[in-house]
Amino acid sequence: MLESSRAPAVLLVLHDVAPSTWADYQPFVEAVDALGNVPMTWLVVPDFHRRGALDDHPAFCRMLDERVARGDELALHGYFHDDQEPTPSTPRDWFMRRIYTHEGEFYGLSREAALARLRAGIDVFQRHDWPLHGFVAPAWLMSDGTRQALRELPLSYTSDPQHLYRLPEFTAMDAPGLVWSARSAWRRGLSKLVSEQREQRWREAPVIRLGLHPVDMRHGFSRDYWLHTLERLLAEGREPMTKINWLARQRGQLERAA
């Protein structure tokens, strides 16, 4: 596993970005913009839950154009962000696809199916002239077929909750991430405790990712946590970066070391 840069960074990542979730995110994004130059990585879903095709929402797409122009990164986050594949056939698959989440779109896809869906997502980005470097599977769940497909495509990285992976080799880089389960009050309370403990443990980590979801934005308790955590990490000297810019910095340091 490659060691990453010792220069501390914070990566602010917005999951499940779609026309239907923009109302949740907008006040938070405006608050982040008010802090100054804080680039973000937006995980964009081309047709969220099969009810929000980007091409049907030109104003939303123009907003994303503006985010790219100001230095933010857009990454592909599945295509539908839901799992409508055939009924699970094993207890493990049933747990992962019906209890753990219903949104693991790429959990059970064959190489061929994953390639088709990934290429459809790439086509959406190309139509809008959005630079594309990364793919993040919904719920971070990927089949072996998806991994095979990613090795064949012109993408630079993918990720799981604690790592970024350079493609096509799947070279792992430590990139610990905070993420909440915010659907109920007790989950939000537990998430805050766990996140505070992890942040303390990662105080010396060269990078920390903040992984936000639309549901986090619907509750003042979780929304305020994310904003205050970002402010604190910035005050401690962490540099805000997009995923692709942080990866580019690591590559440059490796090349200089060689």
Contact 12, 40 (CB under 8 A): yes
Domain 9-257 sits in CATH at 3.20.20.370
User: How far, in Å, CA of 132 to CA of 162, rounded?
Assistant: 21
Give one DSSP letter per residue of 55-77, joined into a string: GG-HHHHHHHHHHHHTT-EEEE-
- Joined tokens for residue 193: 């405790």
The confidence score (pLDDT) of residue 163 equals 96
The confidence score (pLDDT) of residue 104 equals 64
Contact 105, 78 (CB under 8 A): yes
Q: What is the band of 1 on the pLDDT scale with cuts at 50, 70, 90? A: very low
pLDDT in tens, 200-236: 999 999 999 999 999 999 999 999 999 999 999 999 9
- The pLDDT of 25-30, averaged and rounded, is 98
User: How far, in Å, CA of 232 to CA of 225, rounded?
Assistant: 10
Amino acid at 92: R
Indicate the Cα dihedral angle 143, 146, 147, 152, nearest 10°: 170
pLDDT in tens, 86-140: 565 565 654 455 545 566 689 889 999 999 999 999 999 999 999 999 999 998 9
86 upstream amide cis, omega within 30 of 0: no
Buried b / exposed e along 114-143 (16+ C-beta atoms within 10 A): bbebbeebbebbeebebebbbbbbbbbbbb
Beta pairing partners, 240 = 10
User: How far, in Å, CA of 143 to CA of 163, rounded?
Assistant: 17
- The pLDDT of 42-70, averaged and rounded, is 96
User: How far, in Å, CA of 242 to CA of 233, rounded?
Assistant: 15
The confidence score (pLDDT) of residue 5 equals 44
- Joined tokens for residue 99: 């209890």
The rounded mean pLDDT for the chain is 90
State residue 24 phi and psi, 5-degree precision: -65, -45
- Joined tokens for residue 95: 């747990």
- Joined tokens for residue 192: 């805050």
pLDDT in tens, 237-250: 999 999 999 999 98
Contact 150, 158 (CB under 8 A): yes
What pTM, to 2 d.p., does this model score?
0.91
pLDDT in tens, 157-177: 999 999 999 999 999 999 999
The beta strands (E) that lie in 111-242 are given as 157-160, 163-166, 171-174, 177-179, 207-212, 239-240
User: How far, in Å, CA of 124 to CA of 130, rounded?
Assistant: 9
